[in-house]
Amino acid sequence: MIEMSGFSSRELIGKTPYLLTPASEPLFSEIQLTLKNGEEWKGELEDSKKDGGKYWKNVAISAVRSRNGEIASYVMIQEDITMRRKMA
């Protein structure tokens, strides 16, 4: 994520990704519903770099549940797919 976006780890760690914030409706609703149903959300998204440039990423998000089954946090894996999309 740091290489893809141009943000430093200090700027990213502990922050909520934009696609998990209510400002990104209707994507927010789709992701939340998927995660609440115990499923993994996957998709390709265009995002903005710190310098204003754009890049594409493949994203997978899963809920991490506590021992009692409640959602404790989320894990998100991202892969830069900008070159692949340009070649397609």
Q: What is the pLDDT of residue 16?
A: 66
Q: In the Cβ-directed half-sphere of 9, how many Cα atoms lie within 13 Å? A: 0
Report the DSSP pairing between strands 54-65 and 71-80.
antiparallel
Three-state SS at 82: helix
pTM: predicted TM-score of the whole model, two decimal places: 0.72
Domains and CATH numbers, the chain: 2-87 (3.30.450.20)
pLDDT above 90 covers a percentage of the chain that reads 25
How many helices (H) and strands (E) the chain has is answered by 4, 3
Classify the C-alpha dihedral 24-29-34-38 as positive or negative. Answer: positive
Whether 41 contacts 21, CB under 8 Å: no
Q: Is residue 17's pLDDT more than 90?
A: no
pLDDT above 70 covers a percentage of the chain that reads 86
